[in-house]
Amino acid sequence: MAFNIKHIQLIRDKGLLLFLLLIFSGVLTSCSLKAFYMSPEETWEYPGGSSPPMSIVFHADGRLTFVGGFDSFHPATWHFDQHRHQLQIKVSNYDKSPTGCETSSAEESSCLFYNPKTDSFECKLTQKTKSITFLGWNFFRK
């Protein structure tokens, strides 16, 4: 049985190419998933200024805790739609009046506005978001 050396090299080269494609597709997929999903889960802080420092804590189980202010809004919950980059916060004891938002940079800050249709505060949250404005207070990712 005679082996053709060119045939063996061709099979080896195709196998190597397939192997490299699999590795790079896995790397690209993992990179794109990291850039796509941005959860608010952690502590966001207002450093203080015209009032004492405050925090908003986004717990992994969907609970939201206000520390240092907004105590009347407890209990509160949050939900993040990763496909739409939409953050929703539901609070207790809000007077249900719509709020407006003004931000200087749509990419670096998000403003939570009250949406009476969903009975929640909403904003767009991306990987570039550095602060969330809630009722006029700017909270920064800790």
Identify whether residues 105 and 88 lie together within a single domain. Answer: yes
The string of pLDDT tens digits covering residues 58-80 is 999 999 999 999 999 999 999 99
Q: Please, is 11 exposed, middle or buried when counting C-beta atoms within 10 Å of its C-beta (0-12, 13-18, 19+)?
A: exposed
77 closest CA partner among 69, 85, 86, 65:
65
CA dihedral 114, 116, 96, 60 (to 10 degrees): -60
* pTM of full prediction above 0.75: no
* pLDDT at residue number 66: 95
pLDDT tens, residue by residue, 81-122: 988 899 999 999 888 776 666 655 556 788 898 888 888 999
CA separation for the pair 78, 131 (Å, rounded):
16
Residue 128's pLDDT is what?
86
Tell me how many domains the chain contains: 2
pLDDT of residue 8: 66
Distances (CA, A) of 117 to 114, 130, 133: 9, 27, 20
In this predicted model, what pLDDT tens digit does every residue of 7-55 receive, in sequence order? 667 666 766 555 655 565 654 455 444 444 567 889 999 999 888 999 9
Chain centroid to CA 18: 35
Distance CA 48, CA 54 (A): 7
Structure confidence at residue 68 (pLDDT): 94
Together in a domain, 16 and 71 = no
Indicate if 78 and 126 belong to the same structural domain: yes
Domain that holds residue 137: 43-141
The reply to whether 14 and 66 lie within a common domain is: no
Shared domain for 19 and 69, answered yes or no, is: no
21, 23, 24, 65 from 17: Cα distances, Å: 6, 10, 11, 52
% of the chain at pLDDT higher than 70: 67
Q: Do 89 and 134 belong to one domain? A: yes
Residue 127 and residue 79 share a domain: yes
